[in-house]
Amino acid sequence: MMGYRAFLLTVFTLLILVALRFITEAEPIGFITPQFVTFVMFYVALGLAFNIFIGMTGYVDFGYVAFMALGSYAMASAINRASSLSLPGYGAIILGLVETIVLTFILALIVGGIALRLRGAYFAIATISVNEGLRFLVDGLDIWGGSAGIYVSGPLIRLVGHEAYSFIALIVSDLLLYATAFIALIITFVYLNSRIGYALKAIREDEDAAKVMGVNTTFYKVLAFSTSGILGGLIGASWALKLAAVYPPEAFNIFYTVEAIVIVMLGGAGTFLGPIVGGAVYGGLKYVLSGYIPGYQLLIFAPILIAIIVMVPQGVIGFLRERSERLREFIA
Amino acid sequence: MLEVVNVTKRFGGIVALRNVSLKVERGERIAIVGPNGSGKTTLFNVINGVYPPEEGKVIFEGADITMLPSYKRAWLGIARAFQIPRPFPNITLRESVAIGALFGSLYGKIGAREALEIADERLKLVGLYDKRNELTGKLAVPELKLLEFAKALAMKPKLLLLDEIVAGMPPSAVDYIVSLVRKISDEENIAIATLVEHVMRAVVKFAERVIVLHLGSKVLEGRPEEVLRNPLMEEIYLGKRWSL
Confidence of residue B217 (pLDDT cuts 50, 70, 90): very high
Rounded to 10 degrees, what is the CA torsion of A236, A218, A201, A191? 50
CA-closest candidate to residue B16, choices B41, B33, B50: B41
Cβ atoms within 10 Å of B74's Cβ, excluding its own? 28
Whether the predicted pLDDT of A305 surpasses 80: no
Q: Establish if B89 touches chain A: CB-CB under 8 angstroms.
A: yes
Q: Establish if A207 touches chain B: CB-CB under 8 angstroms.
A: no
pLDDT given for residue A324 in this prediction: 67
Q: Establish if B82 touches chain A: CB-CB under 8 angstroms.
A: yes
Question: What does residue B32 show for φ and ψ, rounded to 5 degrees?
Answer: -105, 115
Give the distance from residue B239's alpha carbon to the nearest chain A alpha carbon, in angstroms: 36
Q: Which of A63-77, A198-212, A290-304 has the lowest mean pLDDT?
A: A290-304
Task: Tell me the mean pLDDT in the region B133-150.
Answer: 88
Are the Cβ atoms of B71 and A209 closer than 8 angstroms?
no
In chain B, whose CA is at the least distance from the CA of A314?
B90
Q: Establish if B69 touches chain A: CB-CB under 8 angstroms.
A: yes
Whether the predicted pLDDT of B115 surpasses 90: yes
SS3 at position A13: helix
The reply to whether ipTM tops 0.90 is: no
Report the predicted TM-score, pTM, of the whole model to 2 decimal places: 0.89
Q: For chain A, give the mean pLDDT.
A: 89
Q: Which of A8-12, A233-237, B15-19 has the lowest mean pLDDT?
A: A8-12
Whether the predicted pLDDT of B199 surpasses 80: no
**Burial of B154: CB neighbours in 10 Å, binned 0-12, 13-18, 19+:** buried
- Let me know how long chain A is: 332
Distances from the Cα of A69 to the Cα of A77, A134, A280, B82, B194, angstroms = 12, 10, 23, 44, 53
Question: What does residue B180 show for φ and ψ, rounded to 5 degrees?
Answer: -65, -50
Whether the predicted pLDDT of A86 surpasses 90: no
Q: Could you tell me if B90 and A205 are in contact, meaning their C-beta atoms sit under 8 angstroms apart?
A: yes
pLDDT given for residue A318 in this prediction: 77
DSSP B211: E
Whether the predicted pLDDT of A331 surpasses 60: no
Q: State the amino acid at position B17 in one-letter form.
A: L
Confidence of residue B230 (pLDDT cuts 50, 70, 90): confident
Give the distance from residue B174's alpha carbon to the nearest chain A alpha carbon, in angstroms: 24
Whether the predicted pLDDT of A332 surpasses 60: no
In chain A, whose CA is at the least distance from the CA of B138?
A322
Domain of A324, CATH number, reads 1.10.3470
Alpha helices in chain A (DSSP H): 4-26, 34-57, 65-82, 89-115, 120-140, 153-160, 162-167, 173-192, 195-205, 207-212, 217-240, 248-251, 254-267, 273-292, 297-311, 316-323, 325-331
Q: Mind listing the pLDDT tens digit for each residue in B174-195?
A: 888 888 889 999 999 999 998 8
CA-closest candidate to residue B100, choices B168, B38, B157: B157
From chain B, pick out residues whose CB is under 8 angstroms from the CB of A193.
Answer: 112
Q: To the nearest whole percent, how much of chain A has pLDDT over 90?
A: 61
Domain residues for A35?
4-331
pLDDT given for residue B244 in this prediction: 66
From chain B, pick out residues whose CB is under 8 angstroms from the CB of A200.
Answer: none
In chain B, whose CA is at the least distance from the CA of A204?
B88
Are the Cβ atoms of A199 and B87 closer than 8 angstroms?
no
Are the Cβ atoms of A195 and B103 closer than 8 angstroms?
yes
**Burial of A171: CB neighbours in 10 Å, binned 0-12, 13-18, 19+:** middle
Q: Could you tell me if B166 and B202 are in contact, meaning their C-beta atoms sit under 8 angstroms apart?
A: yes
Rounded Cα distance between A236 and B121, Å, is 47
Are the Cβ atoms of A215 and B99 closer than 8 angstroms?
yes
Chain A, 286-325: which have a CB under 8 Å from a chain B CB? Answer: 325
Whether the predicted pLDDT of A77 surpasses 90: yes
Rounded to 10 degrees, what is the CA torsion of B152, B153, B157, B162? 50
CA-closest candidate to residue A66, choices A232, A180, A224: A232
Q: Identify which of B103, B112, B133 has the shortest CB distance to residue A193.
A: B112
Q: Which of A95-99, B43-47, B136-140 has the lowest mean pLDDT?
A: B136-140
Q: Establish if B93 touches chain A: CB-CB under 8 angstroms.
A: no
Q: Identify which of B98, B103, B111 has the shortest CB distance to residue A214.
A: B103
Residue of B69 and A288 predicted with greater confidence: B69
Residues 6+ apart with CB under 8 A from B200: B33, B228
DSSP letters for A227-265: HHHHHHHHHHHHHHTT-SEE-HHHHT-HHHHHHHHHHHH
Rounded Cα distance between B106 and A54, Å, is 28
Give the distance from residue A3's alpha carbon to the nearest chain B alpha carbon, in angstroms: 13
Confidence of residue B140 (pLDDT cuts 50, 70, 90): confident
Q: Which of A211-220, A259-268, A302-311, B19-28 has the lowest mean pLDDT?
A: A302-311
Whether the predicted pLDDT of A116 surpasses 60: yes
Chain A, 1-20: which have a CB under 8 Å from a chain B CB? Answer: 2
pLDDT given for residue A95 in this prediction: 95
Give the distance from residue B28's alpha carbon to the nearest chain A alpha carbon, in angstroms: 22
Q: State the amino acid at position A51 in one-letter form.
A: N
Residues 6+ apart with CB under 8 A from B106: B115, B118, B155, B156
Task: Tell me the mean pLDDT in the region A285-300.
Answer: 81
Rounded to 10 degrees, what is the CA torsion of A21, A181, A64, A256? 10
Confidence of residue A1 (pLDDT cuts 50, 70, 90): low
Q: To the nearest whole percent, how much of chain B has pLDDT over 70?
A: 99
- Let me know how long chain B is: 244
Distances from the Cα of A215 to the Cα of A139, A208, A276, B1, angstroms = 40, 9, 30, 23
Rg of chain B over Cα atoms, rounded to whole angstroms, equals 18
Give the distance from residue A200's alpha carbon to the nearest chain B alpha carbon, in angstroms: 10
β-strand partners of B17 = B9
Rounded to 10 degrees, what is the CA torsion of A217, A318, A108, A175? 140
Residue of B231 and A153 predicted with greater confidence: A153
CA-closest candidate to residue B35, choices B216, B192, B203, B202: B216
Whether the predicted pLDDT of B75 surpasses 90: yes
Whether the predicted pLDDT of B76 surpasses 70: yes
Q: Mind listing the pLDDT tens digit for each residue in A235-271?
A: 999 999 999 999 999 999 988 998 898 898 888 887 8
DSSP letters for A35-63: HHHHHHHHHHHHHHHHHHHHHHH----TT
Are the Cβ atoms of A211 and B99 closer than 8 angstroms?
no
Confidence of residue A154 (pLDDT cuts 50, 70, 90): very high
Distances from the Cα of A108 to the Cα of A66, A100, A182, A227, A283, angstroms = 10, 12, 21, 9, 27
pLDDT given for residue A323 in this prediction: 73
Give the distance from residue B133's alpha carbon to the nearest chain A alpha carbon, in angstroms: 9
pLDDT given for residue A82 in this prediction: 87
Please state the domain count of chain A: 1
From chain A, pick out residues whose CB is under 8 angstroms from the CB of B113.
Answer: none
pLDDT given for residue A52 in this prediction: 93
CA dihedral over A200, A203, A206, A209, signed as positive or negative: positive
Q: Establish if B68 touches chain A: CB-CB under 8 angstroms.
A: no
Q: Mind listing the pLDDT tens digit for each residue in A20-53?
A: 999 998 888 888 899 999 999 999 999 999 999 9
Rounded Cα distance between A280 and A317, Å, is 13
Rounded Cα distance between A270 and A262, Å, is 13
Are the Cβ atoms of A216 and B71 closer than 8 angstroms?
yes
Distances from the Cα of B104 to the Cα of A105, A123, A308, B107, B189, angstroms = 30, 28, 41, 5, 16
Rounded Cα distance between B164 and B147, Å, is 14
Q: Identify which of A198, A208, A217 has the shortest CB distance to residue B102.
A: A198
Q: Could you tell me if B49 and B55 are in contact, meaning their C-beta atoms sit under 8 angstroms apart?
A: no
Q: Which residues of A101-126 are buried (b: 16+ CB within 10 A; e: fewer)?
A: bebbbebbeebbeebbeeeeeebbeb
pLDDT given for residue A330 in this prediction: 57
Q: Could you tell me if B213 and B36 are in contact, meaning their C-beta atoms sit under 8 angstroms apart?
A: no
Rounded Cα distance between B132 and B126, Å, is 11
Are the Cβ atoms of B71 and A214 closer than 8 angstroms?
yes
